[in-house]
């Protein structure tokens, strides 16, 4: 008995199966690597589009999108609007975070001169940790105001059990139901306020879509490594090792 075991001898059919399996796995892992590189390029293009939109000329009320499809092409673009706050329709969206803290997104419609309204994400406030039903005091100026913000989708929907009861504090906000409830002609988008009155107590560190291209480069490297390992193992066990043994 020798110190090294003899390599497993495969028939012709067995060698073909092993070779096909290795080729298939190399194709799959290699394709996944290139897919991750493609995802990274898509994220870079998204980042460039966001930066370009942020530098565009602000939209006025007359230039606002007319439908949801058109609004999607304007996300993150600045807007300058004039109107009146509908303070009685203010809603506090619960379980929203900013700077890692839980609290409320303060949502108030802004009535525009043409009779329509746009839902404004005015900012974030912390919630009372002792009394979860206590509403924070948020000053809402009366009369005509000027709003500086940026185009944004409707606030994201969080998982919840059952439906929200009518009231100021809500987990989610359905656009159509809210418009009917408040008797408003709402635009099919919202606006995130970026500049507000000094001392209003609202934070406005609005997040932008994460563009983490390094994550995709790391995944691509892993898939390409798997591909190279499969190729190396096949060459070693099916070509080099049998020849050395002979």
Tens of each residue's pLDDT in the chain, 246 residues: 445 555 556 677 878 888 999 999 999 999 999 999 999 888 888 788 888 888 899 999 999 998 989 998 899 999 999 999 999 999 999 999 998 888 999 999 999 999 999 999 999 999 877 777 788 888 899 999 999 999 999 888 887 766 666 788 998 988 888 999 999 999 999 999 999 888 888 999 987 766 678 899 999 999 999 999 999 998 888 888 878 776
CA distances 44 to 71, 74, 77, 86, 192, Å, are 21, 18, 18, 39, 23
Treating both helix axes as pointing N-terminal to C-terminal, what angle do 213-235 and 12-54 enclose, rounded to 10 degrees? 170
Structure tokens at 214: 């390094």
Nearest to 219 by CA among 25, 28, 40: 40
Report the 10 Å Cβ neighbour count for 201.
15
This prediction has a pTM of: 0.73
CB distance 125 to 98 below 8 Å: no
Q: What are phi and psi of 3, to 5 degrees?
A: -75, -20
Residue linked to tokens 């002979």:
246
Residue linked to tokens 């898939």:
223
Structure tokens at 27: 């194709």
């Amino acid at each position: 008995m020798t110190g090294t075991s003899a390599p497993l001898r495969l028939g012709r059919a067995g060698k073909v199966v092993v070779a096909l399996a290795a080729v298939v796995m190399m194709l799959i892992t290699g394709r996944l690597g290139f897919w991750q590189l493609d995802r990274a390029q898509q994220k870079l293009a998204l980042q460039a589009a966001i930066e370009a939109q942020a530098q565009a000329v602000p939209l006025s009320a007359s230039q606002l999108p007319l439908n949801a499809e058109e609004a999607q092409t304007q996300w993150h673009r600045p807007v300058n609007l004039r109107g009146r706050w509908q303070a009685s329709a203010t809603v506090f969206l619960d379980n929203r975070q900013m700077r890692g803290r839980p609290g409320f997104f303060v949502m108030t419609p802004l009535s525009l001169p043409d009779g329509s309204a746009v839902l404004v994400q005015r900012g974030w406030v912390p919630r009372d940790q002792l009394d979860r039903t206590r509403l924070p005091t948020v000053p809402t100026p009366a009369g005509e105001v000027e709003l500086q913000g940026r185009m944004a989708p409707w606030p994201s929907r969080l998982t919840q059990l059952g439906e929200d009861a009518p009231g100021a504090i809500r987990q989610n906000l359905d656009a159509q139901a809210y418009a009917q409830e408040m008797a408003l002609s709402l635009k099919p988008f919202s606006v995130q306020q970026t500049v507000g009155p000094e001392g209003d107590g609202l934070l406005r560190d609005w997040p932008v879509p994460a563009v983490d291209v390094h994550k995709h480069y790391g995944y691509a490297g892993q898939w390409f490594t798997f591909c190279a390992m499969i190729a190396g193992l096949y060459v070693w066990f099916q070509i080099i090792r049998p020849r050395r043994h002979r």
